Amino acid sequence: MSPYTLGIDFGTSNSAMAVTGPDGQAQLIRLEGQATAMPTALFFNDEERSTHYGRDAVGHYLAGTEGRLMRSLKSLLGSPLLQEKTAVHGESVSFQDIISRFLAELVRRAERQTGRRPERLMLGRPVHFVDDDSSRDQQAEAALRLAARQAGFADDDIRFQLEPIAAAFDYERRISQESLVLIVDIGGGTSDFTVVRLGPDRTTRPDRAQDILATSGVHIGGTDFDQRLTLQQVMPHLGLRHIGPQGREVPSPLFLDLSTWHLINWLYSAKVLHQAQSLRENYSDTHLHDRLMTVLRERLGHQVLHAVETAKIGVSSTREPASIDLTQIERGWSLPLQPQELEADLLPQLERVGASAQECLRRAGLAHSQIDAIYLTGGSSALQPLQAQLRRDFAGVQLVEGDFFGGVASGLAYATRQ
190 binds, among Mg ion, ligand ATP, none (CB under 5 to 8 A by kind): ligand ATP
Is residue 187 close enough to count as binding ligand ATP by CB under 6 A?
A: yes
Is residue 370 close enough to count as binding ligand ATP by CB under 6 A?
A: no
414 binds, among ligand ATP, Mg ion, none (CB under 5 to 8 A by kind): none
Tell me the window of 7-15, 22-30, 263-271, 320-328 that interacts with ligand ATP (CB under 6 A): 7-15
309 binds, among ligand ATP, Mg ion, none (CB under 5 to 8 A by kind): ligand ATP
How many residues touch Mg ion (CB under 5 A)?
2
Write down the least CB distance from residue 9 to Mg ion, Å: 6
Is residue 230 close enough to count as binding ligand ATP by CB under 6 A?
A: no
How many residues touch ligand ATP (CB under 6 A)?
24
Write down the least CB distance from residue 74 to ligand ATP, Å: 5
What is the per-residue binding string for ligand ATP in 325-364, x denoting contact by CB under 6 A? ----------------------------------------
Q: How many helices (H) and strands (E) does the chain have?
A: 12, 18
Strands (E), 31-178: 37-39, 41-45, 50-53, 67-71, 85-88, 91-94, 120-125, 158-162
Is residue 313 close enough to count as binding ligand ATP by CB under 6 A?
A: yes
CA distances in angstroms from 220 to 35, 196, 350, 351, 395, listed in the order given: 26, 22, 9, 11, 23
Write down the least CB distance from residue 186 to Mg ion, Å: 8
Write down the least CB distance from residue 404 to ligand ATP, Å: 6
Per-position b or e across 372-400, b if 16+ CB within 10 A of its CB: bbbbbbbbbbbbebbbebbeebbeebeeb
Q: Is 229 helix (H, G, I), strand (E, B) or coil?
A: helix
What is the per-residue binding string for ligand ATP in 60-99, x denoting contact by CB under 6 A? --------------x-------------------------
Spatial separation of the C-alpha atoms in residues 122 and 71, rounded to whole Å = 23
Judged by beta carbon, residue 255 or residue 404, the one nearer ligand ATP is 404
Q: Is 239 left (phi over 0), alpha (psi -120 to 50) or beta?
A: left
Closest residue to ligand ATP using C-beta atoms: 222
Judged by beta carbon, residue 140 or residue 258, the one nearer Mg ion is 140
Spatial separation of the C-alpha atoms in residues 16 and 166, rounded to whole Å = 13
Is residue 164 close enough to count as binding Mg ion by CB under 5 A?
A: no
CA dihedral sign, ordered 34, 38, 44, 45? negative
161 forms beta bridges with 124
Judged by beta carbon, residue 74 or residue 262, the one nearer ligand ATP is 74
Q: For residue 237, give the nearest of 258, 221, 264 by alpha carbon.
A: 258
Judged by beta carbon, residue 192 or residue 343, the one nearer Mg ion is 192
| Single-letter code of the amino acid located at 49 | R
Judged by beta carbon, residue 244 or residue 385, the one nearer ligand ATP is 385
Tell me the window of 56-64, 227-235, 268-276, 372-380 that interacts with ligand ATP (CB under 6 A): 372-380
Is residue 11 close enough to count as binding ligand ATP by CB under 6 A?
A: yes
Q: In this structure, are residues 327 and 333 in contact, taking their beta carbons and an 8 Å threshold?
A: yes
Spatial separation of the C-alpha atoms in residues 100 and 168, rounded to whole Å = 28
Closest residue to Mg ion using C-beta atoms: 187
Is residue 118 close enough to count as binding Mg ion by CB under 5 A?
A: no
Spatial separation of the C-alpha atoms in residues 101 and 186, rounded to whole Å = 26
Judged by beta carbon, residue 27 or residue 40, the one nearer Mg ion is 40
Q: What DSSP string describes 7-40?
A: EEEE-SSEEEEEEE-TTS-EEEPP-BTTBSEEES
- The DSSP call for residue 230 is I
Is residue 126 close enough to count as binding Mg ion by CB under 5 A?
A: no
- 59-68 contacts at long range (C-beta below 8 A, 24 or more positions apart): 61/302, 61/303, 62/303, 62/306, 67/43, 68/43, 68/44, 68/265, 68/299
Write down the least CB distance from residue 194 to ligand ATP, Å: 14
13 binds, among ligand ATP, Mg ion, none (CB under 5 to 8 A by kind): ligand ATP
Window 178 to 207, contacts with Mg ion (CB under 5 A)? 187
Phi, psi for residue 124 in degrees, rounded to 5: -80, 155
Judged by beta carbon, residue 139 or residue 190, the one nearer ligand ATP is 190
Q: For residue 239, give the nearest of 252, 229, 226 by alpha carbon.
A: 252
Q: Which residues bind ligand ATP (CB under 6 A)?
A: 11-14, 74, 163, 187-190, 221-223, 309, 313, 316-317, 378-380, 382-383, 404-405
Q: Which residues bind Mg ion (CB under 5 A)?
A: 11, 187
